[in-house]
Structure 1
Amino acid sequence: MEFALGSSYELETQLVVIDELKLVGDYSVSFIMNQLNGEQKMINSLISKLK
């Protein structure tokens, strides 16, 4: 699970770079970032419950 969480943080970093370079529209990055944050919360919750 920690690998999944780490991968999601890598994706978040890439999205920040994409946003700063204005490679896609702001709405697209915001939408994906919101979805990703939800996934990160679920993964964190699962990790906590498994410990």
Structure 2
Amino acid sequence: MWTNCSPSLTAGGWWKPDAVVFVESVPLGATGKVLKHSLRKQYGDDYLSA
């Protein structure tokens, strides 16, 4: 996937993530926002940096 889109992303100055993690569901707060602290707790800071 990254091989096909990498040149077009980096040429435009876009940041390319180091990893992509697929999850079954994302924890949401009362307002519908993603609870990043819950994801960090579950998956660690390896995938999610502030």
TM-score range for the pair, normalised by the shorter chain length: under 0.3
Query: Relative to total residues, which structure has the larger helix share, 1 or 2?
Result: 1
TM-score for both structures, normalised by structure 1 = 0.22
Q: Greater Rg, structure 1 or structure 2?
A: 2
